[in-house]
Amino acid sequence: MRSKITVVAPSSTANLGPGFDVFGLAVNAFYDEITLTKTKEKKVSIVTADEIPTNPDKNTAGLVVKNMIKKFRTKDGIEIKIKKNVPAGYGMGSSAASAAAAAVGFDKLYGLKLDDNSLVEFAGIGEKASAGSIHYDNVAASVLGGFVIVKTNPLNIIKIDPPTNLRMCIAVPKLKVPKKKTKVSRGVIPKKISLKDSIVNLSNATAIVAGFMNKDAKLIGTSIQDVIVEPARQHMIPGFKKVKENALKAGALGVTISGAGPSVIAFSERSADLKKISLAMTRGFKSSKTRCETIICKPSVGAKIKK
């Protein structure tokens, strides 16, 4: 039996426009790295050089490990070493990446051989700490990689391999994000929606699924249209309208908020001028006096054991 394991897990983008809390896509922009080491002293401790909570009850990876220890009645303590690369609070699935790496690592460390749905369910416990409620879109993408659909009651994650020519440009604005940002940005979403709007979103969401199944990047990109959540959240992102408009003009197929924001994601094909799209997004943010970092990326594989 191993005494130590290191896992890397990718960043992810949730919702993809109309698939609020249902769609997730792992992206190769950033990876968190987590090392779990068994210790004699029976406690969970966090070691990190990054600015994240070191109290295991407030740390997404810590919560996952504590819950798994309780569930499987393992006898050791665990030291969790975290190297955070996914920027926290920007809609890139940061908490999910650490939670996913922790669940996959614990499973392997104790040879539990959990199935995908159970791994995602454990990883989801970490999300509750940061978002206030459980949503599995980011963790499912981080655990499994590729494009995922979260089917609930019972939880059943459906994974589809993305087309190889799908590309994304992500603009991460240098903004101060509120504490508990996801909770705040979930609070602005309407509780009731019209039948008309739900039809528009349903039609685009189903077209996105068809796009992934048929490996049709164009269909995916042009269906990234959301008339419910994006309009309610966009005021939280200075310059959003301009960023979107610029990216579309520069050739992006579809543009929306990445997860709960404030990052903005443009979907495209490999053949597009991705640099031009990124620059157009940067200019869009600049019009609201906001600097941003842009990343050109593609879909990623899921969490992987490193050593």
Contacts to ligand HSE by CB under 6 A: 14-15, 20-21, 91, 135, 137-138, 182, 186, 259-260
User: Look-up: residue for tokens 């490999």?
Assistant: 270
When the beta carbons of 21 and 293 are compared against ligand HSE, the nearer one is 21
When the beta carbons of 69 and 103 are compared against ligand HSE, the nearer one is 103
Cβ neighbors of 70 (< 8 A, separation 6 or more) are none
Please pick, among 127, 256, 282, 290, the residue that the annotation labels catalytic.
127
Name the β-bridge partners of 46: 80
Spatial contact of 299 and 12, defined as CB atoms under 8 Å apart:
no
Active site residue 127: yes
Residue 176 Cβ, how far from ligand HSE at the closest point, in Å?
18
Spatial contact of 56 and 42, defined as CB atoms under 8 Å apart:
no
Residue 111 Cβ, how far from ligand HSE at the closest point, in Å?
31
- Residue spans of alpha helices (H) in 180-298: 181-187, 195-213, 217-222, 229-233, 240-249, 274-286
Rounded CA separation 283/280 (Å): 5
When the beta carbons of 259 and 262 are compared against ligand HSE, the nearer one is 259
Rounded CA separation 207/209 (Å): 5
DSSP result, 79-131 = EEEEE--SPTTSSS-HHHHHHHHHHHHHHHHTT----HHHHHHHHHHHHHHHH
Rounded CA separation 137/24 (Å): 5
Name the β-bridge partners of 213: none
Residue 95 Cβ, how far from ligand HSE at the closest point, in Å?
8
When the beta carbons of 20 and 122 are compared against ligand HSE, the nearer one is 20
Residue 12 Cβ, how far from ligand HSE at the closest point, in Å?
8
When the beta carbons of 137 and 269 are compared against ligand HSE, the nearer one is 137
Please pick, among 35, 182, 290, 294, the residue that the annotation labels catalytic.
182
When the beta carbons of 78 and 228 are compared against ligand HSE, the nearer one is 228
Residue 20 Cβ, how far from ligand HSE at the closest point, in Å?
6
Rounded CA separation 296/23 (Å): 20
**Helix and strand counts by DSSP (H, E) for the chain:** 10, 11
Residue 135 Cβ, how far from ligand HSE at the closest point, in Å?
5
Give the DSSP H or E segment for 141. Answer: helix 137-144
Active site residues: 127, 182
